[in-house]
Amino acid sequence: MRSADIRRKFVAYFVERGHREVPSSSLVPADDPTLLFTNSGMVQFKRTFLGQERRDYVRAVTVQKCVRAGGKHNDLEQVGLTRRHHTFFEMLGNFSFGDYFKRDAIAFAWEFVTGPAWLGIPPERLRVTVHHTDDEARRLWREVAGLPDDRIYGLGDKDNFWQMGDTGPCGPCSEIYVDLEWRPGMAPPALAQDEFERLAEEGRFLEIWNLVFMQFDRSADGTLAPLPKPSVDTGAGLERIAAVLQGEDDNFHADTFRPLLDRVGTLVGRPYDRAAPERVSYRVLADHARAVAFLLADGVYPSNEGRGYVLRRILRRAVRHAWLLGRREPTLAPLTEVVVAEMGDAYPELRARAGFIRDVT
C-alpha cells in the first residue's frame, strides 16, 4: 500500500467514526515557547487537553508534520545511520478531548490496523505494551482485541509514559508492535518479556502506534496534576507503516524516501546501494531534503539561534554528506524539487513556496 493511500485511509476511517479532519499545524508551534518544533500530533491540541481552549468538536484526526531535531526529542545525529530515525516525519493521529477513552482508543486502533478494508495486518504479527501499572489497558487488549495475555507486556515509564516536553499534557501509553520476521502461517512465538524487549531493541519488533491515555499536566517542578477530563492522543509514524506494508524492514526503502534516494543516485552518478558504506550519505540527503523543504515552507530561515540554528545544522550536515559523495554542485535544491513533486498534493504549502525553497537551498 502506498503512503498516499495510508494517509487517505487513516483519515477516512476516523472521519467515518465521528472525528473532525483537522489540517496539520505548522512545524513552528503557535505561541508555545516550551517547544522548538512541532514534535507530534497533539501539539496543536495542547490547550484543548489542558481545558484552556474549547473546540466545537471532541474527536479529531490529523496527519501532522513533525520535526525531531533540537529540543527534547532530538534525533539529528542518528539520521542516516539507522533504519528509522528521521528529522522530518509524518504522524497519523486520532484524538479524543474528554470524549472516548481507553476502550474505544484500543478498539479503533485494532480495527484500523488489522481490518482487511484498512491496513489488514494479520493479528498474529502483533503484540502490545502497556504501562506496567495499567491493568485496565491490559484487560481491554484481551477483551476488545482478543490478544492473549502473553503478547501483552508491561513496561515502565521510560517506554510507556508519554510527554510532549518537560511540561504539559502527558499520561501512560500503550504501543502496538509488528513482528518483521513473521511469515504467513507462522504461529506467534512465545516470548518472555525480556526476550521481547531484546528483539524490539534489535529491530525485529517495530513499534507502529502509540496510544497515549492523557491524564495529567506536568508542571516545571515535576508534579502531575490531573487533566480536567481523561483524553486520548495517538501517534503512528507514516514512514514505518509504509515500510511494513511495502514489505521493507527499513523506512528509507519505502516510497516515502525511495524517489529521493534514486535522485541522489542520478546526481552522484551511482545508484543507491543498500550494502555500500556510502549509503549513509544518500540517506542523510534524502532525510534532510524533506526537513529543509518543510521547515522553509513553514517560514523557518537559517540563522544563528533557535529554530533557524537547527535548520542551519541540518543544511550543513546535508552539504557535508553531498561533499562526501563527491558532489561539488548544489545538491539539496534538486532534492527539494523531488520533495515538492512527491508531497505537494498532501501539503500545498510546498508548491506555494517552491521557488523560495529552491532559492535558499
Work out whether 212 is an interface residue with ligand GLY (CB under 6 A): yes
Decide: is 61 part of the binding site for ligand GLY (CB under 6 A).
no
**Among candidate residues 203, 126, 194, the one with its CA nearest the CA of residue 154:** 194
Q: Based on CB atoms, which residue is closest to ligand GLY, 156 or 271?
A: 156
DSSP for residue 254: S
Task: Compare residues 144 and 212 and give the one whose CB is closer to ligand GLY.
Answer: 212
> Could you tell me if 292 and 79 are in contact, meaning their C-beta atoms sit under 8 angstroms apart?
no
Closest CA relative to residue 153, chosen from 193, 202, 125: 193
Calculate the dihedral angle through the C-alpha atoms of 121, 143, 148, 101, rounding to the nearest 10 degrees.
70
Asked if 233 touches ligand GLY (CB under 6 A), the answer is yes
Query: What x/- string results for residues 155 through 194 when contact with ligand GLY is judged by CB under 6 A?
Result: -------x--------------------------------
Are 203 and 83 spatial neighbours (Cβ–Cβ below 8 Å)? Answer: yes
Task: State the nearest-atom distance from the C-beta of 20 to ligand GLY, in Å.
Answer: 18
From the CB of residue 351, how many other CB atoms can be counted at a distance below 10 Å?
15
Q: Could you say which residues in the range 96-135 bind ligand GLY, by CB under 6 A?
A: none
Window 18-47: residues binding ligand GLY (CB under 6 A): 40, 42
Closer CB to ligand GLY, 169 or 302, in the complex: 169
Residue with grid cell 526537513, as numbered in its chain: 291
Of 165, 168, 235, 302, which lies in the binding site for ligand GLY, with binding defined by CB under 6 A?
235
Rounded distance, CA 85 to CA 78, Å? 6
80 or 168: CB nearest ligand GLY: 168
| Four-residue CA torsion sign, 32, 35, 41, 42 | negative
Residue closer to ligand GLY, measured from CB, 152 or 232: 232
Report which secondary-structure segment, H or E, holds 306: helix 306-324
Give min distance, CB of 235 to ligand GLY, in A: 3
Q: Which residue sits closest to ligand GLY, CB atoms considered?
A: 235
Question: Between 207 and 342, whose beta carbon lies closer to ligand GLY?
Answer: 207
Which is nearer to ligand GLY, 60 or 212 (by Cβ)?
A: 212
Beta carbon of residue 240, minimum distance to ligand GLY (angstroms, whole number): 12
CA atoms within 13 A on the CB side of 3: 27
Q: How far is the CB of 212 from ligand GLY (least distance, A)?
A: 5
Is 48 a residue that touches ligand GLY (CB under 6 A)? no
Using CA atoms of 136, 140, 143, 147 in order, give the dihedral in degrees to the nearest 10.
Answer: -110
**By C-beta, is 36 or 261 nearer to ligand GLY?**
36
Q: Which residues contact 120 (CB under 8 A, 6 or more apart)?
A: 114
Q: Among residues 24, 48, 210, 256, which is the contact residue for ligand GLY, using CB under 6 A? A: 210
Q: How far apart are the first and last CA of the chain?
A: 32
The backbone torsions φ and ψ at residue 119, rounded to the nearest 5 degrees and listed phi first, read -80, -30
Give the nearer residue to ligand GLY in terms of CB position, either 177 or 272. Answer: 177
CB of 325 to ligand GLY, least distance (A): 33
Shortest separation between residue 60's beta carbon and ligand GLY, angstroms: 13
Q: How far apart are CA 301 and CA 261, in angstroms?
A: 25
Size of the site for ligand GLY (CB under 6 A): 7
Phi, psi at 310, each rounded to 5°: -60, -45
Three cell numbers at 63? Answer: 496527519
Query: Among residues 3 and 38, whose Cβ is nearest to ligand GLY?
Result: 38
What is the closest distance, in whole angstroms, from the C-beta atom of residue 128 to ligand GLY in the complex?
14
Residue 96 CB neighbours (<10 A)? 23
Query: What's the closest the beta carbon of residue 131 comes to ligand GLY, in angstroms?
Result: 14
- Which positions lie near ligand GLY, rule CB under 6 A? 40, 42, 162, 210, 212, 233, 235
